[in-house]
Amino acid sequence: MQKLSLDALAREHLERATAASTGRSAATVYGGHERVLRQTVLALTTDTALAEHESPGEATLLVLRGRVRLTSGDTSWEGRTGDLITIPEARHSLQAIEDAAVLLTVAKHG
C-alpha cells in the first residue's frame, strides 16, 4: 500500500511548472502504460495548454488547485479546485485559466 499527499504533489509540480520553459510539469502517481488504470498529477501555469489530442480511454480530471478549461469540439467545461470533470471520449484540449494542478485518471480501453 502507498499513501501520497495530492496537495504536496500539486504544490511541488506547480513550482516545477513555474520554473519550466514549457509551463508544465507532470508525474504518474499510480499505474502506467503497462496497467489499465493510470493516475497522473499535471500542473500548468496560467494560459499554458495541452493541444487537442485523442482520448486514451475513460478518463476524469480532478482539479486540485486553480482553474482549467477542457474543450472538445464546440463544448467547453470550466473546472475549479475540487471539481471533477468527466473527459469525453473524443478529441479534446486543456488550458489553465490560472495556475492549476489536476489529477488525471485514465482507464485505457483493452
Q: Where are the domains of the chain?
A: 6-108
Per-residue pLDDT tens digits for 71-84: 999 999 999 999 99
Q: How confident is the prediction for the chain on average, in pLDDT?
A: 93
Stretch 47-73: mean pLDDT: 93
> What is the Cα 31 distance to its own chain's centre?
15
pTM: predicted TM-score of the whole model, two decimal places: 0.92
Residue 94 scores a pLDDT above 80:
yes
At 110, is the pLDDT very low, low, confident or very high (cuts 50, 70, 90)?
low
State yes or no: pLDDT of 33 exceeds 80: no
CATH annotation of 6-108: 2.60.120.10
Asked if 81 and 101 count as a contact pair (C-beta separation under 8 A), the reply is: no
